[in-house]
Amino acid sequence: MASFLPCASGDFAEAPAAPVPEVGMAAPDFLLPAADGPIRLSDFRGQPVILVFSPPGWDPAEAAQLALFNDTAARLAPARARLLGVSLDGPWCSLDLENEGGLRFPLLRDFDPAGGVAHRFGVYGSRAVVVIDGDGVVQWKHVFPAGLPARPEVLAAVFADLAPPDPIGPSLTRRQFLITALVASLAAAAWPAPAPAETSAASPQGSAPPRPPQVLDLTLQVNGVDHALKVDSRVTLLDALREYIGLTGTKKGCDQGTCGACTVLADGRRIKSCLTLAAMAEGRRITTIEGLAREGKLHPVQAAFIDHDAFQCGYCTPGQIMAAVALIDEGHAGSDDEIREWMSGNLCRCGAYPNIVAAIRQAAGGKKA
């Protein structure tokens, strides 16, 4: 019978090199700290375990996804299956989540050495889901492209491959079916199906069938380059930039138009890309933070932000810079008060506002306000 590969502790620096486990191979055991004490993978022998790895680098958008994992963890409990998060972010981030995020599943701290367990599973730097059965064997593993969020359609495609015509037919053991069902349940909770299309009040039947998502062929011109995309009509420009084109400099903060982290330029005018559908951006010149520098030389606003230390964590900075570039072009940098007023749509949790104003004042120097 297969079993977990042994290990003495969470520190793999001195452990003998082991092959990265693929489906059908024994999962490497590990011992990692968590809020309520250390957790060893092999302690769950006899229970399926779902490991959810996140890439390093905190993205507030992940908070929503973690909330959905909470629900999944609760729904897995009757099946005695466990969901374990593996955090690669700094301890402060992990603590923040545990204290404020109301996590209902253990968040293991893979910090010492940084990402040691993720490396052992071959998933470091990516979002990944690994399902391990009660015998310690990897039954399912999916690694999402590095730096890109998990996309529901990718999971859906994988599940389609996994799902047998007859769930407990001869091609699949009951245990495999259980694992498949658990993974499907995870996905269903983490990425709920789109809300049904609105029912027309005028519909004689009173209940129109849900509209299937409409897939669009779009060409977005971003930073002077045309990108041909096939996207759901509901995809925002922000998601198109980050998830489809891979330009992750534009940040997702609130995803509802209040923080300004997602600010980009459309034909030179600032817009919030989380409030703009990708389809609405076709035919416009989109500029993101990645498109500001020219021939290796920073844009004056970027240089001024560095000169004035106008950031701390830096999460809001791409949006601040894009808004500042537009603000100067709009002629709204005449005074510090004016700068503050016209930058008020861009929030900074770190409170770097005085330095941001100073940077914009410098970058605007010599320009007519």
For ligand FES, the binding residues (CB under 6 A) are 252-255, 257-262, 272, 274, 311-317, 348-350, 352
Cα–Cα distance for residue pair 344/175, rounded to 1 Å: 55
Phi–psi pair at 39, nearest 5 degrees = -125, 130
Tell me the closest approach of the beta carbon of residue 269 to ligand FES, in angstroms.
Answer: 15
Cα–Cα distance for residue pair 208/262, rounded to 1 Å: 35
Q: Which is nearer to ligand FES, 219 or 258 (CB)?
A: 258
Tell me the closest approach of the beta carbon of residue 253 to ligand FES, in angstroms.
Answer: 4
Q: What type of residue is 123?
A: V
Q: Which is nearer to ligand FES, 130 or 262 (CB)?
A: 262
Residue 198 CB neighbour total at 10 angstroms = 9
Identify the DSSP state of 175: H
Q: Which is nearer to ligand FES, 178 or 310 (CB)?
A: 310
**Strand order across the beta sheet in which 82-87 lies:** 107-109, 82-87, 49-53, 128-132, 138-143
Cα–Cα distance for residue pair 227/208, rounded to 1 Å: 35
Tell me the closest approach of the beta carbon of residue 59 to ligand FES, in angstroms.
Answer: 11
Tell me the closest approach of the beta carbon of residue 12 to ligand FES, in angstroms.
Answer: 33
Tell me the closest approach of the beta carbon of residue 308 to ligand FES, in angstroms.
Answer: 12
Q: Which is nearer to ligand FES, 7 or 310 (CB)?
A: 310
Are the beta carbons of 219 and 285 closer than 8 angstroms? no
Q: Which is nearer to ligand FES, 116 or 149 (CB)?
A: 149
Tell me the closest approach of the beta carbon of residue 319 to ligand FES, in angstroms.
Answer: 8
Cα–Cα distance for residue pair 136/42, rounded to 1 Å: 7
Both tokens of 264, joined, read 């980009």
Q: Which is nearer to ligand FES, 43 or 96 (CB)?
A: 96
* DSSP secondary structure of 256-321: SSSS-TTEEEETTEEEEGGGSBGGGGTTSEEE-GGGS-BTTB--HHHHHHHHTT--SS-SSHHHHH
Tell me the closest approach of the beta carbon of residue 336 to ligand FES, in angstroms.
Answer: 18
Cα–Cα distance for residue pair 342/33, rounded to 1 Å: 46
- The residue count of the chain comes to 369
Tell me the closest approach of the beta carbon of residue 281 to ligand FES, in angstroms.
Answer: 14
Tell me the closest approach of the beta carbon of residue 317 to ligand FES, in angstroms.
Answer: 6
Q: Which is nearer to ligand FES, 241 or 292 (CB)?
A: 241
Q: Which is nearer to ligand FES, 38 or 257 (CB)?
A: 257
Both tokens of 140, joined, read 């399912």
Cα–Cα distance for residue pair 98/103, rounded to 1 Å: 6
**Gyration radius from the chain CA atoms:** 24
Q: Which is nearer to ligand FES, 123 or 240 (CB)?
A: 240
Q: Which is nearer to ligand FES, 44 or 244 (CB)?
A: 244
Tell me the closest approach of the beta carbon of residue 280 to ligand FES, in angstroms.
Answer: 15
Nearest to 252 by CA among 278, 269, 235, 274: 274
Both tokens of 46, joined, read 């006899």
The upper half-sphere exposure of residue 239, i.e. CA atoms within 13 Å in the direction of its Cβ, equals: 20
